[in-house]
Every structure is written in structure tokens, then in C-alpha cells.
Amino acid sequence: MNNAISEIRIRVFHTGRVCVSPGLPFKDTKNNPNPLQLTLLSAYGRRHRIWLPVSAYLIQHPKGRILVDTGWHREISPKGEYSRMAQIRHLGLGHFLLNQGVLPMGEALVEQLEKINIYPKDIDYVLLTHMHSDHASGLRQLKDARHILVSEEEWQDTKAHSERYVTSMWKGVNIETFTFKETGQGPVGRSYDLFGDGSVEMIQLPGHTSGLAAVKISRGGKFVLLFADGGYAEKSWREMIPPGTALNEQQAYHSLQWIHDMSQKEECIESLANHDVDVIPHEIVM
């Protein structure tokens, strides 16, 4: 890692909200609901539903502009308000029953970027932590970015577990895949170094999905950790509450333990979940 690298800025955006059963972000170990029970088809899935922010991030790095995830597409709220029919068209009925979204006018990621004179063609990399709908919905609005990257493991999950994804979200989008390398980084020792200098690394966090990745941004011995859906809030790692939906529950817990340990390191400037209601949009300067 080159500690002489010049300033890095990380901007945290909220791109609308998502409405889910509390058992989806925070595993209910007492009732242990299955994925079907988290949908609107069951009393459990309808009860006490909560609204969570949908975050995306802009990293302004000396070697390029980077987006982490995409937030919702304008299609989910054409008029900036909740629309059941628009969501069913965008998500499909099955995904609509699991999670609904709303995207106020001006909050789509491309709309917020335009306010600071940044357009999709100006983006060097879009890094997808994974390809669930609230992370990949806006892909078609960002298709003019120079590179859109996702792990090979996650790409394979979209085929092997297609019921967990809305594949129309990346129709016509040029997706490039990368391979995690055995680096000793992360809960399973595998990561991908975007620039080859340790400043931006995607670290495999298997469990929620096979190819889920945290993004670790480092400079001068300090780092910021964007841990996506490895946990849904700071309380996830503080209280060790894994997500309620996981391909592999044991791996999800192991990944959360790694997030817990990293988040408490003295070198950690901030450790951010994608859907934490206590995180407000702000900028981090490193």
C-alpha cells in the first residue's frame, strides 16, 4: 500500500428507502422464519414492517471515480412516490411481496450525481457488492460508466439462485466479472485489489450471497469499511445479529464476526452498513 497517495473522498448517498419485515435485516432466532414467511403472504411478514435507507457511495480517488452499488432506479417511483404497480413492473410480483421501495424525486443516484456535475460517462468503475434488487436496480441508468464490476461468485449466484435476483435490471448492461484472489484478507482470506495498491479492495463476505463483497478504502494506515449486507446496521455487528436471509447461515455469521473485529480496530475511521437508519448522508475525507 502506497501511504503517500493523495486525498480520497467518500460520499454517502441515500437513494430512497426499502420496506421489509424486521426478520429480513435482523435474524429472528426465536421464530426463525423462512424466506416465504418474510413476505406479505404471511402474517409474520406483514407484521411490524420497517423502512430502511438504501445507500450508495461515490469514492473520488486519485485514480478514478468509483460508485459502490446503484440504489433504486427511477422506475420504482416514476412520480417520486410509492406506486404499487410501478414496483410490480420493476421488481416482479415475487420480489414485491418481499420488499417494497420508494424513491422521492431527486434521490435517484444519477439525479444526485448530476447535481454535482457528474454523469455516468464520468464514472470509471461501478463496484457491485452484490446484485440483489436494492443494490443493482439503477444499473441501466449507469450503463455508460467505463467499467461495471461484480465478483465471479456473485455472477454465478444470479444463475444458480435466479429466484433471488431480478435479472432484467442489468439487461443491456456490460457487466465485467473479477476473481477474488487468495490474499489472506477477510473472513475467508479472499479479496480483489482494484488498483493493485491496497487503496480500494473488495473483500469476499460469503453468507448472505456467495459473492457478497465489502469495500475497504485505505489511506495512510487508516480505512473505511463499506460492508453492504454483511450486516444491516451497526447494531448487527455490535450485537452479532446476522441477516435473516442467507444462502449459508454459518458463513454469514463468520463474515459478521470479521466485520465486528474490523469495525473495532483503531485504524477504522467508519464502518458502514448499506441500510442503517442511523447513518445519514455525509462525506468522509481521508
Average pLDDT rounded to a whole number, residues 267-275: 98
Amino acid 262 reads M
Handedness of CA 177, 252, 205, 11 (dihedral sign): positive
Q: pTM of the predicted model, to two decimals?
A: 0.95
Average pLDDT rounded to a whole number, residues 125-129: 98
Average pLDDT rounded to a whole number, residues 183-197: 97
Reading across the β-sheet that carries 222-226, which strands appear in turn?
A: 181-182, 190-193, 200-204, 213-219, 222-226, 268-272
Q: Is residue 268 scored above 90 in pLDDT?
A: yes
Nearest to 16 by CA among 107, 87, 96, 146: 107
User: Which pLDDT score, from 0 to 100, does residue 105 have?
Assistant: 98
Write the pLDDT tens digit of every residue in 228-238: 999 999 999 99
User: Which pLDDT score, from 0 to 100, does residue 6 have?
Assistant: 83
Average pLDDT rounded to a whole number, residues 163-167: 95
CATH numbers and ranges of domains, the chain: 9-22+34-285 (3.60.15.10)
Average pLDDT rounded to a whole number, residues 98-124: 97
Q: Is residue 50 scored above 90 in pLDDT?
A: yes
